[in-house]
Amino acid sequence: MKIINFGVREDERQYFERFATEFGVQCFTTDRPLDNNTMHLLKGMDGVTDITTRCYAPEIYQMMQAQGAKYFSLRQAGFDGLNCVDGRRYGVRFARVPDYSPNAISEHSVALALMLLRNLHTGYMRWHNQDYRLEGLIGKEIRDYTVGILGTGHIGLEAARAFQGFGGRVIAYDVAPRPEERQWLDYVDDLDDFFRQANLIGIYMPLNDGNRHIINQHNIAKMPDGTIIINVARGEHIKTDDLYQALLTGKLAGAALDVYEGERGIFHQDFSTRIVPDELFRKLEALPNVIITPHIAFNTDHAVRNMVKISLENIINMAKCDKIKNEIPY
């Protein structure tokens, strides 16, 4: 079996080599994304893996069909960039890696919250310049917050446990609550009530049309003054203009973002010698109560290893079975 892997980073290559040998498949890698300029690399392949937040053109799936590449696995959990209907029309089956490491992303969200609450980002800049004064660095404790978990999949549940471990009161909202978790997790069934109660909100839900821009001017107005927003899910969950205005007015005390609505073309690029072209991003990044990390919450050795391993297993298993656990429904 031949598998072509797109968008491969240096930290992934060792795992492709390792698991290709272990699974007895041929793996070909490129750091380029799968698009109209690279789809010629599909020739002679049985399966494809990629990691991306962009949408694929129908021509990609048409080329997969023409070349006999029937199996497509994302090396990630989110699949909002896939048009599975288009793909299935050309006989392509899709899978993802839903559980590569919920801990990686949940831990990152807690780290972001702690950085904001303890002013570590501000302090670090001072300490780097040998300014060790205490003024302006007084922090807050998680136990004094009502932490709201938006989305209780594996990542959201791990985050809820972590915030509880710090002594915070934790509530949760999900369109499909898990009854078995209610014995330890306080679900709030009404979204408006959720926003009225939580003053530290973490976003962990998959993106869909129903929750796109769920953090907007209307919902921010319901939140307690001084609420903090943490987003490790998708940038499109937040209407960025509304977030920016709420931060300026002080309605929101801070925001820590590992994702951004217009991140494509910014994140994972080097702008040290040039200006980021997105003006709103520059304005947001300049605020003292904002922390932005470039979509790295997933990036641990444990997670990267599993993303490669499970995505290759998905391709192999789809070739053997009519239905597999990680297959994406359409």
Catalytic-role residue among 234, 237, 305, 313: 234
**Secondary structure of residue 3 in the 3-state scheme:** strand
DSSP-assigned beta bridge partners for residue 254:
228
Q: Are 216 and 239 in contact (CB under 8 A)?
A: yes
Say how far apart CA 202 and CA 113 lie, in whole Å: 9
Catalytic-role residue among 93, 96, 108, 295: 295
Alpha helix locations (H) across the chain? 10-23, 58-67, 84-89, 102-117, 120-128, 154-165, 191-197, 217-220, 240-249, 279-286, 301-320
Q: Are 53 and 76 in contact (CB under 8 A)?
A: no
Say how far apart CA 173 and CA 217 lie, in whole Å: 19
**Secondary structure of residue 153 in the 3-state scheme:** coil
Residue 264 annotated to the active site: no
Residue 327 annotated to the active site: no
Find the Cα–Cα–Cα–Cα dihedral 172, 177, 181, 185, rounded to 10°. 20
Could you say which DSSP state residue 43 is in?
T
Q: Are 61 and 86 in contact (CB under 8 A)?
A: yes
Say how far apart CA 220 and CA 197 lie, in whole Å: 12
Residue 295 annotated to the active site: yes
Contacts of 240 (CB under 8 A, 6+ apart): 260, 261, 262, 280, 284
- Do β-strands 146-150 and 169-173 pair in parallel, antiparallel, or remain unpaired? parallel
Say how far apart CA 122 and CA 164 lie, in whole Å: 26
Q: Tell me, what amino acid is at 230?
A: I
H/E element, 48: strand 47-50
Catalytic-role residue among 12, 158, 236, 263: 263
Instruction: Give the residue numbers marked as catalytic.
Output: 234, 263, 295
